[in-house]
Amino acid sequence: MKRFEYARAGSPSDAVRRFRPGTMYLGGGTNLVDLMRLGVAEPDLLVDVSRLPLDVIEPVGDRLRVGAAVRNTDLAADPLVRTHYPMLARAVLAGASGQVRNMATVAGNLLQRTRCAYFQDVSRPCNKRRPGSGCPAIEGDHGNLAVLGASGACVATHPSDMAVALAALDAEVHVTGPGGDRIIPMPGLHRLPGEEPERDTVLEPGDLITAVELPASPPGASAYRKVRERASFAFALVSIAASLDVGSDGVVSDCRIALGSVAHVPWRAERAERLLIGGPATGAAFLEAAEAELDQARPLPRNAYKLPLARNLIVATLEELAP
Amino acid sequence: MNRVEGRVKVTGLATYAAEYPVEAVAYAYPVQSLVAKGRIAGVHDAAAREMPGVLAVLSCEDPPRLAEDADAELALFQSRDVAYRGQIVAAVVAGTYENARAAAAAVRVEYDPDDHDVALRSGHPGFYRPDVVNPDYPADTVKGDVEAGLDVAAASVDVTYSTPVLHNNPMEPHAALAVWDPEGRLLVYDSTQGTSPDRDTIARTLGLPREDVRVVSRHVGGGFGSKGSTRPHAVLAALAARAAGRPVKVALTRHQMFDVTGYRTPTIQRLRLGADAGGRLTAVEHVAYEQSSTLIEFAEQTATPARVMYATPALRTAHRLVRLDVATPSWMRAPGECPGMYALESAMDELACALGMDPVELRVVNDADAEPEGGLPFSSRNLVMCLREGARRFGWRHRDPEPGVRREGEWLVGTGVAASTYPARRRPASAFAFVRDGDYVIQVAAADIGTGARTALVRIAADALGVPPGQVHVELGDSDLPEAPVAGGSMGTASWGSAVVRACEELKRGDGKEGRADTTGEVGNDARLARHAFGAQFAEVRVSSVTGEIRVPRLLGVFAAGRIVDPELARSQFIGGMTMGLGMALMEETLTDEEFGGFLRRDLAQYHVPACADVPHVEAVWLDEQDGELNPMGSKGIGEIGIVGTAAAIGNAVHHATGHRLRDLPMTPVKILSRF
């Protein structure tokens, strides 16, 4: 582990002011500290933002503002979240373990790195960790890596459950940074790997997430479902956050579908949603929409199972949500 | 009776190997090979030596002296040849762990790499027949005519199964603290399953008389075989302490444990079984293909359970090994029986299906009154009672044998059964019993690796002395105590307990103050009998037709393991083994990296072992089995039999639920989905 300095920020603007190249912000540390032990992350300076007064969940009109430092456990237990955004509570509880959720923050959850085995092993090449060194996963262990939106440089997936629900909920990410404050709509925070897999998100150096804001909850019923071979404390093979609203005429009036563990980003299934809205809420329509979405997939030999899995999951989840 | 050391463990007062406080301690951190095969051209350590706190760098450039016949996995820095990726090729000693680790990262090892071959595959040209398989069984056996038996069979199966690389993953990482005294004597606090054999191996490796070495291991956080033989970290600690002139700690990381503390060989197993119309076996053939390293021939005894399980006129078992550029496989809970019974008991289920026969009944009609290979009579064998009792408790008679027809929503439901077996052996041990302050003290160099051995030995001694357990104190985990064998092969309690009973008897017979025992003669005179524990495991599974997820709402094990010394400890051992068997069935798998060599998924986030949510209802019960041919306690070992058969019972239940037979462990959603 490389030597580093540690500083505690007094305010968000103080954190940004302390930022210089080689700085990383420290939230719950559940991912960053592991990566530092592994030599994957080698910051010169850690600016601790976990104690900033960003740990509040508060209604803002018909919206809900969730501070960046809110712990995952507190987010999942919040009565407003449980009442109005049950999909989000379920997604958070599907992730990690009780102990990890007690530490992990909202912003840290969004910014966690891929669990690709090569990324986490400094003795092996990885374009995300060492740009230009190659991607052994494409020929090697890619069993749980991306089938959608991957590139020849990187097939990593984003591992978060929470981010999948936030993508389905059209959440907004509030950011402050050297260039001032801005708002990034989900799922636009994360980016596809392209030729720059070392960049997970659209954040610029020094940007600090201060809050996540949720618009009014989508109409209709919602669900979060996560598939994994171990019943808890495992990353998803595929996960889905979905909501569905069907009018009395049997026509779909609103539909949100986001998939986890299929891409470098929480994958909003916009193509499927467009096909479904205004159409019938039938199993055949769900299947057609799922297949249209997954037409874009480019699976590798050992992750091709994700296509039938994602298709089954979309159809079964929507059927469950349909009245 | 509560676990003797329960309080110190839950309050954090129990001291493990890496935790002993020692003045002026330093730390060693290994440098591991980045190639799977080749030769070390040079170790460039000048930069590392300049780094803060660095005391020494060890490597083949200036090799420390070790015994010439040292075990090849322990002969650190003696050769420039690299046998596998992850092998320890150098080490840095520094005043702090962090400085040692940072400097180790700065050591540059230059290799002349060769092409490597790391993958076990069927048809590998390198397969050969080893002389013996572990520990000393013949590699091959033949009785009768298998081909003729298959020819006359009313039904037969010819099926091939495979199991992956599995890692033991005890909670406590391997660690050692080595302290040399001015007279050149060595004290090692090690995390080991046996201080006496560990002491012997360390002494032999370093070329020291064994009187000059002492190993202390009072608490061990699990081993499952990975601490059953001396590992390189202990030798490294001793060498580093000598080089630095200070006590040295070595604590392996989880990643390093995957590389240098052993694993279960992957296997490919072909089973051919035939039976007549009544289900009686006409032929059994079990051929196992497995791997070892180029350093050491480690031949897992995978096909040996077929020599024990079922009566048959024709039986052939064989083992074939290939030497690859991999670390040496080693002991993992029920070596041999665990992978072998997965294949044999899956094939028995396939045979039952082919015959249209109930799988419990198929096993019952093939019960044996003597070992099918060799013909030794059993000291006791209650497999049929285990099957019957398990079937009764599980509600087996209501089972519809038709596969793939029970559905609850998206979930397909099925049940399966498999048998368990494990040898019941004992080894010579010695013990000393004496009176101190009116209480009784028992000394034996046994190991408590989390099993509760201390507590079991207190009970055994209290029984033998006829005093309350509160008056008995057991001292173990120290090679200066009376010599004892390893906690392994399910022989610990039987071996140590025999010596403890004899020492207590000696105490009572003599002056009432002290008694000593050495069971070498007694064990050597044990009658020639087949001694095995048996069991039957039943599993209920639910398989999602949407996701391919497999859940196991119910596991039941019924065991016949002689007299049970302590019911609570026994239950923990049984359900622990069954839980580990569930892991083997559904999730545990280490990937071999064919491109770079070594292993992938070397941490507990990627190598999944069952979580509590995976085992909602695991039940273990046992028969009241009387066997006077075992040892003074009448007990059979229970540490390993629980893992034997679980994976087959679950796989058989998956077939019953889905109609699909998965013959390649682990049975993951990926493999299920490919069948739907």
Share of chain A above pLDDT 90, in %: 99
Is the Cβ pair A305, B606 closer than 8 Å?
no
- Of B647, B36, B660, B661, nearest to B339 by C-alpha is B647
In a domain, A9, yes or no: yes
| pLDDT score at B496 | 98
- Mean pLDDT of the A165-169 span: 98
Phi-psi category of residue A18: left, alpha or beta, with phi > 0 → left and psi -120 to 50 → alpha? alpha
Name the fold adopted by B127-166+264-424+529-674.
Answer: Aldehyde Oxidoreductase; domain 4 (3.30.365)
pLDDT, mean of each 10-residue run, chain B (676 residues): 94 97 97 98 98 98 96 98 98 97 97 98 98 97 98 98 98 98 97 98 98 98 98 98 98 98 98 98 98 98 98 98 98 98 98 98 97 97 98 97 97 98 98 97 98 98 98 98 97 98 97 96 97 98 98 98 97 98 98 97 96 97 98 98 98 98 98 93
**Two tokens, residue B442:** 């028992």
A283 and A312 Cβ atoms separated by less than 8 Å:
no
The reply to whether B24-115+169-261 and B430-524 are identical in fold is: yes
- The answer to the question of residue A59 being in a domain is no
* pTM attached to this predicted model: 0.98
What pLDDT score was predicted for residue B1?
84
For residue A3, the model assigns a pLDDT of: 87
Closest residue in A to B85 (Cα–Cα): A123
B604 in reach of chain A (CB within 8 A): no
Please report the pLDDT score of residue A2 as a whole number.
Answer: 81
pLDDT of residue B130: 98
Whether A56 is in a domain gets the answer no
**Which pLDDT value is given to residue B624?**
97
What's the mean pLDDT when you consider all of chain A?
Answer: 97
CATH topology of domain B24-115+169-261: Aldehyde Oxidoreductase; domain 4 (3.30.365)
Given an 8 Å threshold on Cβ–Cβ distance, is A227 in contact with B549? yes
Q: Tell me the per-residue pLDDT of B466-522, one tens digit each, with 9 for 90 and over.
A: 999 999 999 999 999 999 999 999 999 999 999 999 999 999 999 999 999 999 999
pLDDT 10s digits, A24-83? 999 999 999 999 999 999 999 999 999 999 999 999 999 999 999 999 999 999 999 999
Is position A231 within any domain? yes
Domain B430-524 - what CATH class?
Answer: alpha beta
Domain count, chain A: 2
Residue A255, domain member (yes or no): yes
Q: Which residue has the tokens 């009245």?
A: A323
Give B-chain residues touching A141 at CB under 8 angstroms: 591, 593, 600-601
Which domain does A13 fall in, by range?
A: 5-48
Domain ranges within chain B, ordered by starting residue: 24-115+169-261, 127-166+264-424+529-674, 430-524
Quick check: A1 pLDDT over 80?
A: no
Is the separation of the CB atoms in A87 and A241 below 8 Å?
yes
In three-state secondary structure terms, B310 is coil
Phi, psi of B214 (to 5 degrees): -130, 135
Report pLDDT for B323.
98
Q: Please confirm whether the linkage preceding A21 is cis (ω < 30° from 0).
A: no
Provide the 10 A C-beta neighbour count for residue B10.
10
B2 touches chain A (CB under 8 A): no
Amino acid at A170: D
The whole-number pLDDT of residue A286 equals 98
CA distance A246 to chain B (A): 23
Residue A232 to residue B596, Cβ atoms within 8 A:
no
Which of B676, B674, B531, B555 has the alpha carbon at shortest distance from B620? B555
Residues in chain B with CB shorter than 8 Å from the CB of A305 are: 548, 669-670, 673-674
Q: Which helix (H) or strand (E) covers residue B195, if one does?
A: helix B195-206
pLDDT digit string, tens, across residues B236-277: 999 999 999 999 999 999 999 999 999 999 999 999 999 999
pLDDT at A300: 98
Cβ count near B288 (within 10 Å): 30
B402 has catalytic annotation? no
Residue B96, chain A, CB below 8 Å: the answer is no
Taking alpha carbons only, the member of A75, A73, A52, A50 closest to residue A65 is A75
Whether A301 and chain B come into contact, CB under 8 Å, resolves to no
| Nearest residue in B to A31, CA atom | B605
Q: Which class for B359: exposed (0-12), middle (13-18), buried (19 or more C-beta within 10 A)?
A: buried
Chain B nearest-CA distance from A227, in A, is: 7
Question: Which of the residues A225, A229, A262 would you substitute to probe the B interface, choosing the one with the greatest number of B C-beta atoms within 10 Å?
Answer: A229
Tokens found for residue B674: 């490919």
User: Could you identify the residue written with the tokens 């038709």?
Assistant: B402
SS (H, E, C) chain A: CCCCEEEECCCHHHHHHHCCCCEEEECCCCCHHHHHHHCCCCCCEEEECCCCCCCCEEEECCEEEEECCCEHHHHHHCHHHHHHCHHHHHHHHHCCCHHHHHHCEHHHHHCCCCCCCCCCCCCCCCCCCCCCCCCHHHCCCCCCCCCCCCCCCCCCCCCCCHHHHHHHCCCEEEEEECCEEEEEECCCCECCCCCCCCCCECCCCCCEEEEEEECCCCCCEEEEEEECCCCCCCCCCEEEEEEEEECCCCEEEEEEEEEECCCCCCEECHHHHHHHCCCECCHHHHHHHHHHHHCCCCCCCCCCCHHHHHHHHHHHHHHHHCC
Q: Do B670 and A115 touch (CB under 8 A)?
A: no
The answer to whether the beta carbons of residues B577 and B555 sit under 8 Å apart is: no
Distance, in angstroms, between B587 CA and closest chain A CA?
7
| d(CA B667, nearest CA chain A) in Å | 9
pLDDT of residue B676: 87
Chain B residues within an 8 Å CB radius of A143: 670
User: Which amino acid is located at B558 in the chain?
Assistant: V
Domain assignment of residue A240, yes or no: yes
pLDDT value of residue B394: 98
* A19 located within any domain: yes
Inter-chain CB proximity A229 and B587 less than 8 Å: yes
Query: Is residue A298 in a domain?
Result: yes
CA distance A93 to A107: 16
How many whole angstroms separate alpha carbon B565 and alpha carbon B568? Answer: 9
ipTM: 0.97
Q: Which of A139, A309, A316 sits opposite B673 (nearest CB)?
A: A309
Catalytic residue among B290, B337, B625, B640: B640
